[in-house]
Amino acid sequence: MTQETQVRVSKKFLYVNRKAPYGTIYALESLEVVLIGAAFEQDVSLAFVGDGVYQLTKGQDTKGLEMKNFSPTFRALEDYDVTKLYVEKEALEARGLLEADLVVPVEVVSAQRMAEIMEAQDVILSF
Amino acid sequence: MGNVLHTVNKSPFDHRALETCLKFARQGSAVLLIEDGVYAAARDTAVSKQVQEALKSVSIYALKPDVEARGMQNRVMDGVRLVDYGGFVDLVAEHNAVQSWL
Amino acid sequence: MKFGILVNEGPYTHEASDTAYQFVKAALAKGHEIYRVFFYHDGVNNGTRLTVPPQDERNVVKRWSDLAAQHKLDLVVCIAAAQRRGLMDAAEAKRNGKDADNIAPGFRISGLGQLIEAGIQADRLVVFGG
């Protein structure tokens, strides 16, 4: 099937990130899905809920772990046209974090707004 | 109205998945308790009040084979509906999207 | 209705693969179509043919292989996750200079794009995890 005859289906994809980085691999492998998924030109949003907000904190230094620090990759998402990053307000506050502590510009949203965002999706990938 | 089916597979006594789920489950949406999540369906527990409160705005289901495997079949609180795997499939089909609170 | 399935945990340690299997069986019994089952994270370990569980126990891997044969299911193991965890088909083993492969019948190794495609093509995507 050629590119021209292919039917273009655009769906709303939401990636829900709820795990802190490094302790488990979910955060890193979730980001790998986002990067691959970007090539499919879907309507992509990322949600950071609970410990997921720890993926975005500044100052991560993984040298001592011999693991890759993947937090800078979030800054590259813009180049992939992935610009809708939503962070749960309550999760930030509960962890003593401010928007300024995060490596990328995000939209900090209430639980109610986040629930609305979830309701608007076609596909929710949760890790 | 809620169009998302939320699934919770963690015990509410050891994890915050249910609590987080209920925070994001909008009025009219459905919550399906599976695997260790079914412990939340029991009456007279430390979380049963929270679950009863949630039942006022969302439908709560528990996966029967998981309930039975854990010997919880006689402890399920009123208002929580039991479904088998076929019922799980129906719930997924009836909602627009599924959010798994892993 | 067309379902896409994502399995994020391996066999035995977590119930995720069992729940996904029972869900898929029930969906097929109701006449639904399973567009694809995608195995990611430790879920790739569902695709090794080298598991030998005790005979009186369920065989998680073989169950998936049998169901795939019976219903022509598309069981896809993520290549990046598989490479990290030592899950190989013959071509991958050769390409990486390894002396063995271990993928179970009915499974194939492919890229993450297959997961995104399942999300696009299926009517519902259901995630099973730990």
Which range of residues forms the domain containing residue A68? 12-126
Q: How would you classify residue A97: left for phi > 0, otherwise alpha for psi between -120 and 50, otherwise beta? A: beta
* Chain A hits for C111, Cβ within 8 Å: 36
Give the chain C residue nearest B4 (alpha carbons).
C124
Full pLDDT tens readout for chain A, 127 residues? 444 445 567 999 999 999 999 999 999 999 999 999 999 999 999 999 999 999 999 999 999 999 999 999 999 999 999 999 999 999 999 999 999 999 999 999 999 999 999 999 999 999 8
Q: Which residues pair with residue B76 across a beta bridge?
A: B42
Q: Best of C116, C124, C125, C127 to disrupt the A interface by mutation (most A CBs within 10 Å)?
A: C116
Q: Are C17 and C37 in contact (CB under 8 A)?
A: no
Please indicate whether, in this complex, the C-beta atoms of C112 and A32 are within 8 angstroms of each other: yes
Catalytic site residue C78? yes
Which range of residues forms the domain containing residue C83? 2-128
CA distance A85 to C115: 21
Closest partner residue to A123 among C40, C80, C119, by Cβ? Answer: C119
Q: Which two tokens stand for residue A127?
A: 């890790």
**Catalytic-labelled residue, pool C78, C82, C109, C125:** C78
Please indicate whether, in this complex, the C-beta atoms of A49 and B20 are within 8 angstroms of each other: yes
Radius of gyration of chain A (CA): 15
Residue range C54-100, pLDDT digits in tens: 999 999 999 999 999 999 999 999 999 999 999 999 999 999 999 99
DSSP alpha helix (H) spans, A16-72: 26-37
Q: Are C127 and C14 in contact (CB under 8 A)?
A: no
Q: Which residue has the tokens 């488990």?
A: A24
* DSSP code, position C13: T
Judge whether A121 lies within some domain. yes
Q: What is the CATH number of the domain that holds C80?
A: 3.40.1260.10
Closest partner residue to A9 among C80, C81, C120, by Cβ? Answer: C120
ipTM of the complex: 0.97
Judge whether A45 lies within some domain. yes
- Number of domains observed in the structure of chain C: 1
Residue B19 identity (one-letter amino acid): E
Q: What is the CATH number of the domain that holds B76?
A: 3.40.1260.10
Q: Is the dihedral of CA C104, C110, C115, C118 positive or negative?
A: negative
Distance from CA of C123 to the nearest CA of A (A): 9
* Chain A hits for C119, Cβ within 8 Å: 11, 13, 42, 122-123, 125
- Number of domains observed in the structure of chain B: 1
Which range of residues forms the domain containing residue B44? 4-101
The interaxial angle of helices C113-121 and A26-37, nearest 10 deg, is 70
- Number of domains observed in the structure of chain A: 1
CA distance C64 to A78: 39
Judge whether A1 lies within some domain. no
* Chain C hits for A127, Cβ within 8 Å: 8, 41, 129
